[in-house]
Structure 1
Amino acid sequence: MKLSWIDVRSIGSAKDAIVEEAIHARIDGILASDPAAFAPLPPTVKKILFPQGEKLPEDFGAADIVIVEPAKHGEPAELALRHPEVEFGRYVEIVDAESLEEACRSGRSEKWSVLNFRDPTKIPLEIVIAAAAKAEGSLITIAHDVEEAEIIYGVLELGSDGVLMAPAAVGDATGLKRAGEGGVPDLELVELEITATAHVGMGDRACVDTAAYFGKDEGILVGSSSKGMILCVSETHPLPYMPTRPFRVNAGAIHSYTLGQNERTNYLSELKAGSKVTAVDIHGKTRLVVVGRVKIESRPLISIDAVGPDGRTANLILQDDWHVRVLGPGGVVLNSTELKPGDKVLGYLPVADRHVGYPINEFCLET
């Protein structure tokens, strides 16, 4: 999980509402230029002081962290000796090679480095992240909006340790916090026992092609019901007559559900380039992957019914072909057309019903 800080220095009339939202969303830190701004804040949020002007205030108030510009305020290490009650960090604006090198030095030596990149390219941030990869301090990068924050959190896969953003409106603080949470929680998969299979005739199925390599024990969860899904393996395993496609999951009939982001389900039919789906491995570890393309074609279909240890059921309708496969316990790859009653597959049996894809506590019967 990444750090999320909001900057309230330039927020106008909506400041009180945005701060209240930020506290409710469990934003990690609030940055202000006046120590008085920290008085109403609860102890659950870090208070970051970034003074404006040439001199530091005599009293830091309730500040936990003080960010300084060394040319104006002095070196963080020297200030820390004089004020051991707070932590100090360095602000660096990266505009050229010299300031980029300063940012790299700060990342390697300072406890906190607040980085402001003038140009939209993320190559300088990649360089700083690489330079500070073994350091113990934290890089906090300034973002203009939530969309940019999502990119910053993922740069070089490691991403910046945190993002500082000035919210433009109510909702932005929640969006920033969600972006820093790193996608979706891991899942508890269960062993499902096949109870029946049936050839059901022609229908439209979807292949989900992603902009990511799947692992050999990884795929996406798919099911006819949002409360019962089976783990469909990607085409990372060799097959006769055709090359591997490690980015693809032959996922199932177009009516089927799969897991997207923010704990929401999506129909396979509504996925498109740029959508995000949840990749899941046999241990329930998850990550969000970007959809690059969805191929929908008419094919013969097979229906697979399965039951969990507690009696809850799942159904999956797949292309009726030997090379379309699912994952079983231990990562064994199972050809769908060879499944028979008594075989075991891996699945997911969420409890919540769904409304427009979101989990909700209401009565809903899917058959």
Structure 2
Amino acid sequence: MSTTAGASLRPSTGTLLDEHDVLLLDLDGVVYIGPDAVPHAPSALQAAVAAGRRLGFITNNASRPPEQVAEHLRELDVPARDEDVVNSAQAAADHLASRFPSGSPVLLVGTTGLRVALEAVGLRPTDDRREAVAVVQGFSPDLAWRDLAEATHAVRAGLPWIATNLDATVPTPGGPAPGNGLLVDLVARAAGRGPDVVCGKPERALFDAAVQRLAARSALVVGDRLDTDLQGARTAGLTGLLVLTGVTGVRELFAAGAHERPDHVGHDLRSLADEHPGVETAPDGVSVVARCRRAQVRVGDGGLELLTAEAGQDGLDVLRAAAVAVWSRADNGRSVSGEQLTAAADLVERTVHPPG
């Protein structure tokens, strides 16, 4: 068997904490969900800091200023300093400050976090589109129809429009809920055009700012979303770890395009202390056989077949082998149908269980 370069999860040379000096962590769905910590996240991050690793918290959620986010993290027993939080509101404010003089009024479509970011770079938030030089839109659970209407009028009038991010959903204790991307889309549909600039993940500006702020030599991006966290890691040339505690599930992982696939996958943040295996593949007629340690699968025209499922206590080796086999087929023009993806995910999910 051989490793498939375009499709494969790559092996680590030790634990992920051995390989990386800085962890760039998404928040929602990785460290916490709403008011509560993701199980095992605080203890895993405490252990990382005790091992000498630095933590950076990078988030597209611009609803709260960094100081409030860091305070929330500390309340959850996560070691966090105010300056370790980097959000898309700061990236958007920096972009606007590079274009407009200090004191310029900017129509604020968002909440406190975005207001604080604008004021920190010398811009003046306003709710009056008639005096604004630009529009900036970030997530707020309290946005009203009038706010979106005011943004629409300003965008239709031709003002530059900056979006902090295009996340379609945000995780909540009850499951995914509408995110900033859907609210931006409402304005775009009404105004007849999209935003001029998007500053959050998966664009690399947020990652570059975090790497520079934390003086990272070998940063690891940790996220729960393929289309923001993991795509952003690839865009920024950084290693990416997907944790299965938020938005992305097994089926979504199988369907991942080459531009958003992770380098590693784990159940939760405890996987930072693990060594991560690679996956080897071999053609088998029109099928692909993939092996991760003692787990082996075949993916062909009929879907996924488990050949051996000796995958350890958490079953992740089966998941790893199956994902790479599906990706390898897709990369060679033999994609797996949606129905087969669902069936494969159902089969693998019966094998994969987080450790206690």
More helix by share: 2
Higher fraction of strand: 1
More relative contact order, 1 or 2 (CA 8 Å, 6+ apart): 2
